[in-house]
Chain A
Amino acid sequence: MTRRLLGTTRRVLIACAAAVLLFVAAPVRAQAPQQPTAAQQGFVPVENLPQQEHMPAAPLVGAAYAFAWVLILLYLWSIWRRLNTVEREMQAVSRRVAEERRP
């Protein structure tokens, strides 16, 4: 079983190395890059924007930040909950181990 797993792992690693070689050897610049459009090479700050610019973008910006915040908080809560579950289970199993070892 172990030998088979080692063989599979080796095959995965070889496939990985082959993929890297393939990409490196391939003519990656075969397609000439198109002329860069505005804001692709760098961001240019501006003092005043037309008023209509502000409204449609605001919900998108709000949604992006809200999503990041909510996901981070949910993930923190999920780690805390899973850690608590494991700690409770550990205490229960430790008690059982101690009871079984008692003469």
Chain B
Amino acid sequence: MKRLFPLTLLVVAAMFVYAPFAILGAPQESTMGLVQKIFYFHVPSWMAMFLAVGICGVSSAVYLFNRNRSADRLAAAAAELGVVFGLIGLVTGPLWARKAWGVWWQWDARLTSTLVLWLIFQAYLVLRRYGGPGSDRLAAGVAVFGMANVPFVYWSVNMWRTIHPTTSVVPTLLPGMRGPFWFCATAFVLLFALLLAARTRLETRRAELEDLYLALDE
């Protein structure tokens, strides 16, 4: 693991350096033009966010039923990453919308539900930090509740009135756009895995430090 980390970090850094060139080489979209290129970072950031939410929710459920401390640490790490990648999606989306729709924000089903999902995981982090003893279990319940929102966020564009592109966009991408998109998606997923490993290590070391303080008190 220790040897794999720097190697993966190098690969991810190289991918992120190459990504803008791959994106510039992709064809322009006919109705949105240049601004559509935000798509190559915007969608992968949401993919990483959903991955984080899934990991956090499942780990939280494991923690609630088995009291497995390492599952709780993984959940805490994933929740923070979910908020970071969600923030990228929430900022890049309005920048795209400003040109494509003429407004920064639209209170439609997709945008509102993603904002709510992001706020749920913000609440998870706040609860863990300031909730006092036992807040880890309450936070785990919040994470399970947050995870249950993901299918609604994903299918909201197909079910409700919205001006947001539907879920059919990615599967129907033409080859010129498909390559750069999946390249960026891979880079984001690899980056997510790296950050998750580093963040989980931080949680583990914090737990060890807490044990040391307890040993000192005894």
Contact = CB atoms under 8 A, between A and B. Distances in A.
Interface of A: 1-2, 5-6, 8-9, 12-13, 15-16, 19-20, 23, 28-29, 31, 33-34, 36-47, 49, 53-54, 56-58, 60-61, 63-65, 67-69, 71-72, 75-76, 79-80, 82-83, 86-87, 89-90, 93-94, 96-97, 100
A37 B163 contact: yes
Given A13-B141, A29-B159, A83-B198, A43 B212 contact: no
Contacts, number: 177
A83 B168 contact: no
B35 A57 contact: yes
Contact of B138 (A8, A44, A72): A8
30 contacts: A5-B134, A12-B144, A34-B161, A36-B166, A37-B163, A39-B31, A39-B165, A41-B165, A42-B169, A42-B172, A43-B30, A43-B173, A43-B174, A44-B31, A45-B176, A49-B34, A54-B34, A57-B33, A60-B95, A60-B98, A61-B34, A65-B38, A67-B91, A68-B45, A69-B16, A71-B87, A82-B202, A86-B202, A96-B216, A97-B212
A86 B73 CA distance: 15
Contacts of B100: 39
A42 B202 CA distance: 42
Contacts of B4: none
Nearest to A4: B134
A6 B195 CA distance: 31
B179 interface: no
Given A43-B177, A45-B174, A75 B159 contact: no
B209 A9 contact: no
A5 B160 CA distance: 37
A101 to B, nearest CB: 9
Contacts of A86: 202, 205-206, 209
A3 to B, nearest CB: 11
Contacts of A9: 64, 137-138, 140-141
A86 B137 CA distance: 24
